[in-house]
Amino acid sequence: MNRTIIKLENVWKIYKMGEVKVNALRGVDLSIKEGEFVSIMGPSGSGKSTCVNMVGCLDVPSKGRISLDGHNIAHLSESELAQIRGRKIGFIFQQFNLIPTLTAIENVMLPMVFQGYSQEDRIKRGKELLALVELQDRMHHRPTELSGGQQQRVAIARSLANNPEVILADEPTGNLDTSTGKNVMDFLMKLNRKEGKTIIMVTHDSYVANAANRVEYLKDGKIIKTKHN
């Protein structure tokens, strides 16, 4: 039986906007096991982004418990959360978030700097990861010299830099055309099925969501339905 990597128990996130309280999440329960590919789906304003922030250790809940590998992270400091993120979780964003002044390989190598890899190891791993996403011939190109799909593949390679257990993909195909988006999804499925990576993906696109083993539907800050593919 695969172990549970991430577990949300009765998680609430309440934002105060002046005198008004906004319940972005309202008692979310979610378990994600090692090796799963889970989509979190819902309309704009459903709480998807807030849920991602919780799962990705980017924020802490107002109420409830979040366990990562059995440890409650709900009350950790920002510096402690940052250390966990750096080791355990790789992020892929809709906007790619590549640094424009760095080449593809330099972007991929960057997360390794903060985890203390030597320059030699960073270069070796950077080359291996760009080969994995079939961009070894573009390693010295800057983001402006790459297509949208190539930039997203660099972002996928970067997310794998510290060999995280979990890949968190936030609308990974949102800025791509249909064909390029399909290629990116193929890479994510390959990472899940061949490399055994746990993938959590947020999307509003039902076609993209159905690539996952399981789809969790969010509405008004609650999970209203679970579908197994």
Residue 181 makes CB contacts below 8 A (sequence gap 6+) with 173, 208
Tokens of residue 48, six digits = 């998807």
Q: Are 187 and 163 in contact (CB under 8 A)?
A: no
In a domain, 106, yes or no: yes
Cα 151 → chain centroid:
16
Q: Are 90 and 161 in contact (CB under 8 A)?
A: yes
Which CATH number characterizes residue 146's domain? 3.40.50.300
In a domain, 215, yes or no: yes
In a domain, 28, yes or no: no
- Opening angle at CA 94, ends 227 and 125, nearest 5: 100
In a domain, 224, yes or no: yes
Tell me the pLDDT tens digit for each residue of 133-187. 999 999 999 999 999 999 999 999 999 999 998 999 998 888 888 888 888 899 8
Beta-ladder partners of 217: 41, 225
Give the phi and the psi of residue 125 in degrees, each rounded to 5: -70, -35
What DSSP letter does each residue of 26-38 carry, written as one string? EEEEEEEETT-EE
In a domain, 143, yes or no: yes
Tokens of residue 226, six digits = 């679970």
**Distance in angstroms (rounded) separating the CA atoms of residues 154 and 160:** 10
- What pLDDT is stored for residue 95 in this prediction? 86
In a domain, 19, yes or no: no
Q: How many domains does the chain have?
A: 1
**Distance in angstroms (rounded) separating the CA atoms of residues 70 and 68:** 5
Residue 25 makes CB contacts below 8 A (sequence gap 6+) with 11, 12, 13, 47, 50, 51, 54, 61, 221, 222
56 vs 29, more confident: 29
Tell me the pLDDT tens digit for each residue of 31-48. 999 999 999 999 888 999
- What pLDDT is stored for residue 175 in this prediction? 85
Tell me the pLDDT tens digit for each residue of 60-102. 899 999 998 888 888 788 888 888 888 889 999 888 899 999 9
